[in-house]
Structure 1
């Protein structure tokens, strides 16, 4: 029986701001996390991700490459970001040229188990739990559903 190659999660090449708290275990690499942020356990934040100041990233969330999150944001438990839309009919297999980026504005709260495809979300938005964001959000408000739609203005 063959032995697997065992890789360890950890923190590597991260640019931390002042007063950042990270609960282990977490897998953070090649990213930047702003001042006074909190990162919960079982979170993965990949390279080329930038997180602004005073953000909370709750447990079991996955933030893939090419995501930018503004200041004063909350990413609740189990939120998944996607950068590969399978544009060629299948996975990009690591080909970054096929990946798309995501930009989250300031004061955005994303509810538990939401899925965020490559989009831009403006400032002052709430995304309901379990929602799937498939298109850019350009007006502040509360959005929910699959696909996420505006429910009301804040």
Structure 2
């Protein structure tokens, strides 16, 4: 036997003029005015996305992520909320998950991975970067682990 689940849009709050390109799997989240969500995106419950933010295709935004206004999330960006703090996956134990907070006017390049961090306003994250620590100074960051390249 198997269990068949459908992708779709369920129990979400949307602002005005939101564009969503299906197929998507979006549930229990809040998406602000004038946002764009590309195809093959998953946005999980309790995610908050601010106004005028674009999320490009194939991105994954897990629970406990907040993204500010006027942000850009490139293709294939992955947000992570489980740091395997007990040596392996949390196995659904949400008490082990951590929050991520993305400020305003943040651009995250394609295929970046964002661990549970805080990123201040006015930051650019380069394509393929892995953000492992809080970013508290505006600038351009890239690499694995991501480091500041310039102001």
Tell me the TM-score normalized by structure 2: 0.99
* Match of residue 128, structure 1, among 107, 122, 126: 126
Partner of 1:56: 54
Tell me if 1:119 matches 2:114.
no
Task: Provide structure 1 residue ranges, at least 5 long, that are not aligned to the other structure.
Answer: none
Q: 1:4 & 1:44 partners in 2: Cα distance?
A: 22
Q: 2:92 & 2:60 partners in 1: Cα distance?
A: 17
Partner of 1:84: 82
Tell me the TM-score normalized by structure 1: 0.97
How do residues 13-24 of structure 1 correspond to structure 2 at under 5 angstroms?
A: 13-24=11-22
Task: Provide structure 2 residue ranges, at least 5 long, that are not aligned to the other structure.
Answer: none
How do residues 36-47 of structure 1 correspond to structure 2 at under 5 angstroms?
A: 36-47=34-45
CA apart distance, 1:8: 0.3
CA apart distance, 1:5: 1.1
Q: 1:26 & 1:33 partners in 2: Cα distance?
A: 14
Question: 4+ residue stretches of structure 1 with deviation over 6 A?
Answer: none
- The alignment covers a number of residue pairs equal to 151
How do residues 127-146 of structure 1 correspond to structure 2 at under 5 angstroms?
A: 127-146=125-144
CA apart distance, 1:4: 2.0
**1:21-75 residue CA offsets vs partner (Å, 9 max, x unmatched):** 0000000000000000000000000001000000000000000000000000000
Partner of 1:29: 27
